[in-house]
Amino acid sequence: MRTIIMSPKKDFRISVEAEVISPDRLALLDIDQIKKLAVWQGNRQHILSDLFTVESDDSTATAGDTTVRLTGDFSKVKRIGEGMTAGVIEVQGSAGMHAGNNMSGGLLSIAENADDWLAREMRGGKVVVMGDAGNYVGAGYRGEKCGMRGGEIEVSGSVGAYLGEHICGGSIRIGGNAGDFAGAANQGGTIFIEGCSYLPGAEMSKGTITVKGTAKVLPSFQKMEVVQIDGQAYQKYAGDLVDNGKGELLVGSVRMV
């Protein structure tokens, strides 16, 4: 096992792009090589050690045997864990945009909040956020037909709009509320929202969205039977019928506005 610990040397006003912060990119490098990796702040390219302190023993390891621990404020550091396939990233505070973007394996855990585009186009592995997350959790890039395809996302708090937009597979669990259009264009993913949402499942064709709290449901969903899950009654809907969708929307408490 190898543990690499990083911490910002200062407060970043301009956001930093650091896709190199990933077990795949770091595990096989010695500490000097790690320090020399390129990161960007705006239009300035820096070496990692200009912006971050780095601690680690020098023994290289496989990505799967590597933990990257990020201490301090990483809320303005983007693309942490981009494309990671194995290993662990522990963000002890908050993480900036695009954390876990395109990851296919390993574990990304964020102790506080995650910014927009968390686990965008994720293919596998697991992402855990103890606080809130922003818009487009598990979504696809602009214009893509497919968002998250596999893996698991768990957010304890609330998330913004467009949760799991274009999700094709995998599962998402939100402990709080989800913003507008959760699970839009769902094509086979599973989304569970403990709290409330607004117009979930728009244009979904497959998959399941469960909203335990209240939800404003689109008129293009057909009301089905009431089902019992874990002792709670859910109103079941089929939709989105604008696209002949065969998705399943379960709502604990329907708001008739």
Partner 1 sequence: MIIKGGIVYDPANGIFGEEMDLFVDKGRMVEQAKGEEIDAHGLLVMPGGVDAHSHIAGKKVNTGRIMRPDDSRLGTEPRTGTCRPSTGYTVPNCYAIGYRYARMGYTTAFEAATPILEARHTHEELEEIPIIDKGALTLFGNNWQVMECIRNNDMDMLAAYMAWGLRSARGYGVKIVNPGGGEAWGFGGNVKGLDDPVPNFDVTPAEIIRGLAQANEMLRLPHSIHLHLNNLGKPGNYNTAIETLDLLKDIRPGRMRQVVHITHMQFSAYGGSSWRDFESKAPVIADYFNSHHHATMDMGQLLFGSATTMTADAPLEYGNARLTHNKWSNHDIELEESSGVVPMVYSRKMLVNAVQWAVGLELALLVADPWKILMTTDHPNGSPFVNYPEVISLLISKPKRDAEMALMHDQVQNRTSLSGIERELDWTDIVIMTRAAPARILGLQDKGHLGPGADADITIYNLMPEELDASQNHDLVKKALACAKYTIKGGAVVSKDGQILSTPPGRTFWVDAAVPQDDADRLMPELEEKFAKYYSVQLSNYAVQDAYLPHAQVIRAGLSVESLKEVA
Partner 2 sequence: MSEAKIIKDAICSFCGCLCDDINVEVDEGRVQRVRHACRLGSSKILGHGRIEHPMVRKDGRLVEASFQEAYDRSAQILLRANKPLLYGWASTSCEAAKKGILLAEEVGAVIDSTATVCHGPSVIGIEEKGLPGATLGQVKNRADTIVFWGCNPVEAHPRHSLRYSSNSVGRFTPQGREGRKIVVVDVRETRTARNADKFIRVNPGGDYEVISALRMLVKGKGDLLPQEVGGVLKADLAELADMLKAARFGALFFGLGITHSRGRYKNIDNALSLVAELNQHSKFVILPMRGHYNVGGIGQTLAWSSGYPMSVDLTRGKPYFNPGETSACDLLARRDVDAALIIAADAASNFPRSTVEALADIPVIQIDPYENPTTLLSDVVIPCAIAGVEVEGTAYRMDGLSLRLRKLVDSCLPSDEEILMGILGSVHRQRQMMANQGV
Partner 3 sequence: MLATMISGRTLAQGAECEDKMNPDFFKAVALCHLSEKDFQSLGLSEGENVLLRNEHGQVALRAKADSGLPENMVFLPMGPWANILVGKDTGGCGTPHFKGVQVEVTATDMPVLDIRELFLNMGV
Size of the site for partner 2 (CB under 8 A): 32
Binding test (CB under 8 A) with partner 1, winner from 29, 49, 85, 141: 141
Residue window 173-212: x/- pattern of binding to partner 2, with contact defined by CB under 8 A: -------xx--x--------------x--xx---------
Give the neighbor-by-neighbor strand order of the sheet with 16-17: 44-47, 38-41, 16-17, 77-78
In the DSSP assignment, the letter for residue 64 is G
Binding test (CB under 8 A) with partner 2, winner from 51, 122, 191, 218: 218
Output 230 or 257, the one with its CB closest to partner 2: 257
State whether the Cα torsion 22-25-28-29 is positive or negative: negative
Binding test (CB under 8 A) with partner 1, winner from 144, 226, 233, 242: 144
Residue window 172-191: x/- pattern of binding to partner 3, with contact defined by CB under 8 A: -------xx-----------
Distance in Å, CB of 141 to partner 1, minimum: 6
Q: Is 75 in the site for partner 3 (CB under 8 A)?
A: no
Using CA atoms, how far apart are residues 226 and 72, in angstroms rounded to an integer?
47
Q: Sort 97 into a burial class: Cβ within 10 Å, 0-12 / 13-18 / 19+.
A: buried
Q: Is 52 in the site for partner 3 (CB under 8 A)?
A: no
Of 26-34, 55-63, 151-159, 219-227, which segment contacts partner 2 by CB under 8 A? 219-227
Taking alpha carbons only, the member of 58, 37, 55, 56 closest to residue 47 is: 37
Tokens encoding 159: 């998330």
DSSP 165-183: TT--SSEEEESS-B-BTTT
Q: Do the Cβ atoms of 67 and 2 come closer than 8 Å?
A: yes
Q: What is the longest distance spanned by two Cα atoms in the chain? A: 62
Output 141 or 192, the one with its CB closest to partner 2: 141
Using CA atoms, how far apart are residues 109 and 99, in angstroms rounded to an integer?
10
Interaction site with partner 1 (CB under 8 A) = 141-145
Interaction site with partner 3 (CB under 8 A) = 116, 134-136, 160-162, 179-180
Interaction site with partner 2 (CB under 8 A) = 13-15, 17, 40-44, 76, 97, 116-117, 135-136, 141-143, 180-181, 184, 199, 202-203, 218-220, 222, 240-243
